[in-house]
Structure 1
Amino acid sequence: AEDLSANTNGKSADNNSIVVCFGELLIDFVPTVGGVSLAEAPAFKKAPGGAPANVAVGVARLGGSSAFIGKVGDDEFGHMLADILRQNNVDISGMRFDHSARTALAFVTLRADGEREFLFFRHPSADMRLHESELDINLIKQAKIFHYGSISLIEEPCKSAHLAAMNIAKRSGSILSYDPNLRLPLWPSSEAARTGIMSIWDQADLIKVSEDEIKFLTGGDDPYDDNVVMKKLYHPNLKLLVVTEGSEGCRYYTKAFKGRVPGI
């Protein structure tokens, strides 16, 4: 795998407030028209995707310092994604290129009935092949916040790399930030997804979940019920739990208080 540290063209990771995001970076293909299924789409346009990478870009655009750790293919799409992160001032010194696997692709649409439809090409993709030995340990140790999802827990060797990175960050005093980002089609089964997502739940300091994810993780309980959220999802080590409600805003929970922030 190729190390990109020689030319990050982003903000330096040498500070005390960097947000390091770990996980997948991929190409989303979305229909050129709205409200159609993937089969009905007349054409697709490409867009950078991957929830952890999106967070890194968002932090940088808001004026913060961020870095991304993950793996893409040594292909046109992989280099394009690296360039996009650079252009958005994201440090990519922890990013790697894989010479054997391609950059992940995802076709996604919002159908007329309001349901999202996904089709993934990861058999395997480069992000799944990140090894623990390829981690930029110094970068992880600098993280004020270490942010990650659950997709990187699905397959080895990335799963072991993910767990090792979390442990390094935790020992270094980082705040662990977790967005499960449920993508059921990528998991072997619903039970595997639930077990995998919850396997690292109690290690996070900050967790962000959606209403649909609450339903899934609790076996169908009411995502608007504060008792459900606190009893089933809040754990003793957690500092903040955020429940997103799309355009309606979000709810937040701590040990001492809770509240709601309306959408913008």
Structure 2
Amino acid sequence: MTMPMQTPSRFAPNRARDIMCLGRLAVDLYAQQVGARLEDVSTFSKYLGGSSANIAFGYARLGLKSSMLARVGNDHMGRFLIETLEREGCDVSHVRVDHERLTALVLLGLEDRDTFPLVFYRENCADMAVDEADFDEAYIASSKALLITGTHFSTEQVHRTGRRALEYARRNNVRTILDIDYRPVLWGLTGKADGETRFIANESVTGHLQRILPLMDLVIGTEEEFRIAGGKDRLIDALSMVRKVTSATLVVKRGPLGCSIVEGAVPASIDDAPVQVEVLNVLGAGDAFASGFLSGWLRDEPLEACARSANASGALVVSRHGCAPAMPTPAELDYFLGEAKKDPDRMRRPDKDATLARLHRVSPNRKQWDEVLGFAFDHRPQFFELAQQTGASEARISKLKQLFVDAVAQTEKELGLQERIGVLIDGRYGQDALNAATGRGWWIGRPVELPGSLPLVFDQGR
């Protein structure tokens, strides 16, 4: 019996990693007051950010092996980024700590449906100092694919680093991907506070990108981003110019129209592109789109399937606050795509679907506590009565609870109980103990009820 021939893989076999991402790694501070000017916002939510980092995070969340190549500062924000990526399953062995620079920050607002104030704090930031000495050829060769964002060709330093990574990749049959990621402010084309402007034509940027494009196997961008890459006003003309310098597969993100994929010759109209996939939501989220697309592409799935996953990922993220934490899991994607096939009208508002909301809460990877060795010292009236009986000050209760934390830490160390310790501490007498327990990797709980209350009353009325 003759066996059917298998379609050859796009990728070299036996690679330890699916993809490595070189580019921006920053903290996003998203305004919590939706509908307010950035000037009027009073609180922000802190998330992992940066295009490359979001893609690496989203890819890891989809259950594949991603690695981040970047720098962070020797600061609290840098440690937050490393821990966030690591917790999601992304390899951070090549995220270097830069002792001379700070981690980049971004402020983002959501003023109305069309206005999204955006301010980049990236002058001399850590991720723009990533250096070719931060990695070697063996690291690049360990992956199926290498993704670099356009911003990381915008200065001499990162351009040199990106070219060296591409050199290693091409030499070792590692597929290369460019996410154009065009931000005029990061190329010095706008005022420093104008991160919102998404397109400014510039011959120098176009020429710069066109010297990189021949080294790519896959190029992802919006219509505006392909216009800057091609140096033409009309999208189809820009794509034709891009095709003159690269044979890469071109993935055009078209917002409410979904996406178009061009392999080979550029058609007379983008609507005639061989692969057209509509989006189910009116907007898409670019980094989630890339993660979704690459999750299929790196599994050798057909381009149509890659595009469906990409559009679905973007639609889910845009319905939530933030980017990285909003990225979908495989369970969310499967449910969304399945329901959209049955009832596309209902899935045009994924934010209204209770099952999706539940899946987003419960399906991401979380630390598994198979065993917790807990010590509860959240007692309040008991310690108060003991202090009264002995004539001791209430302040001594706080000191005692701090000693309990010291005792737990000593026990953990002597018996090798790391990743298994839990404590239950109150906030009334144990606030200092709670502070001392934080950051140790312990399971920490605190009571919320007023002791002895029936019916239940919350402590301090909260």
SS of structure 1 residue aligned to 2:40: coil
Q: Structure 1 residues 55 and 113, CA, compared in 2 at 3 Å: closer, same or farther?
A: closer
- C-alpha contact (below 8 Å) 1:94/1:136 kept by paired residues: no
The amino acid of 2:254's aligned partner reads: E
49-58 vs 112-121, which moves further: 112-121
**1:262 aligned residue:** 278
State the AA in 1 paired with 2:218.
L
* Distance in structure 1 (CA, Å) of the matches to 2:35 and 2:247: 39
Q: Which residue of 1 aligns with 2:378?
A: none
In the alignment, which residue of structure 2 is the partner of 1:3? none
The answer to whether residue 172 in structure 2 is matched with residue 172 in structure 1 is: yes
Q: What's the CA shift string for 1:134-161, capped at 9, x where partnerless?
A: 2243221112110010111222422211
Residues 16-37 of structure 1: CA deviation (Å, up to 9, x unaligned): 5521111110001111122344
Question: What percent identity do the matched residue pairs reach?
Answer: 27
> Which residue of 1 is the match for residue 255 of structure 2?
246
TM-score (norm 2): 0.50
Any stretches of 5+ residues in structure 1 without a counterpart? Answer: 1-13
Aligned counterparts of 2:221 and 2:159: Cα–Cα separation in 1? 21
Q: Which amino acid aligns with 1:116?
A: F
1:198: which partner in 2? 210
Matched residue count: 248
- Cα separation, 1, equivalents of 2:129 and 2:216: 24
| 120-129 or 94-103, larger mean C-alpha shift | 120-129
**Distance in 2 between residues matched to 1:210 and 1:200, nearest whole Å:** 18
74-83 vs 17-26, greater mean Cα deviation:
17-26
Q: What do residues 9-59 of structure 1 show as CA deviations (whole Å, max 9, x unaligned)?
A: xxxxx8355211111100011111223442232332221101111111122
The structure with the greater share of residues assigned to strand is 1
Change (3 A) 1:128 1:17: closer
Aligned to 2:82: 82
Alignment of 1:113-192 (within 5 A): 114-189=114-189, 191=202, 192=204
Change in 2 beyond 3 A, CA 1:36/1:251: farther
Corresponding letter in the other structure for 1:186? L
Query: Counterpart in 1 of 2:107?
Result: 107
1:172-214 per-residue CA deviation (whole Å, 9 max, x = no partner) reads 1111100010111111235343333333122111000102223
Aligned residue for 1:18?
18
Query: Residues 24 and 258 of structure 1: is their aligned pair in 2 closer, same or farther, counting only changes over 3 Å?
Result: same
- Amino acid aligned to 1:193: V
After superposition, the Cα gap between the structure-2 partners of 1:16 and 1:93, relative to the gap in structure 1 and judged at 3 Å, is closer
- The one-letter code of the counterpart of 1:111 is E
Tell me how far 1:68 sits from its aligned partner. Answer: 0.7
Residue pair 1:147, 1:178 contacting (<8 A) in 2 also: yes
Q: CA RMSD in A?
A: 2.2
Moved more, 158-167 or 252-261: 252-261
CA distance in 1 between partners of 2:167 and 2:116 (Å): 34
State how far apart, in whole Å, the 1-side matches of 2:152 and 2:82 are.
Answer: 19
Q: CA deviation at 1:232?
A: 2.0
Could you give the per-residue CA deviations for residues 53-82 of structure 1, whole angstroms, max 9, x where no partner exists? 111112212221111101010110001100
Range with greater deviation from structure 2 (175-184 or 249-258): 249-258
Q: Distance in 2 between matches of 1:206 and 1:17?
A: 18
Letter in 1 for 2:119: L
One-letter code aligned to 1:200 = I
Gaps of 5+ in 2: 1-13, 190-199, 266-272, 280-311, 313-462
Q: Aligned-pair distance for 1:120?
A: 1.3
| Range with bigger deviation, 198-207 or 110-119 | 110-119
The answer to whether the 8 Å contact 1:150/1:196 transfers is no
**Aligned-partner residue type, residue 259 of structure 1:** V
Q: Which residue of 2 aligns with 1:5?
A: none
Q: How does 1:61-72 map to 2 (within 5 A)?
A: 61-72=61-72
Higher relative contact order (CA 8 A, sep 6+): 1
Hey, what does 1:7 align to over in structure 2? none
Give the Cα separation in 1 of the matches to 2:217 and 2:45.
Answer: 37
Q: What whole-Å deviation, never above 9, does each CA across 1:96-124 have from its counterpart, x for those lacking one?
A: 00011000011123432614332111221
CA distance 1:229–1:123, shift in 2 (3 Å): closer
- Corresponding residue of 2:442: none
Given that 2:210 and 2:230 are in contact with CA atoms closer than 8 Å, whether structure 1 keeps it comes out as no
In structure 2, do the counterparts of structure 1 residues 118 and 195 end up closer, same or farther at CA, with 3 Å as the change threshold? Answer: farther
1:200 is paired with a residue whose SS is helix
1:202, 1:115 → 2: CA distance?
35
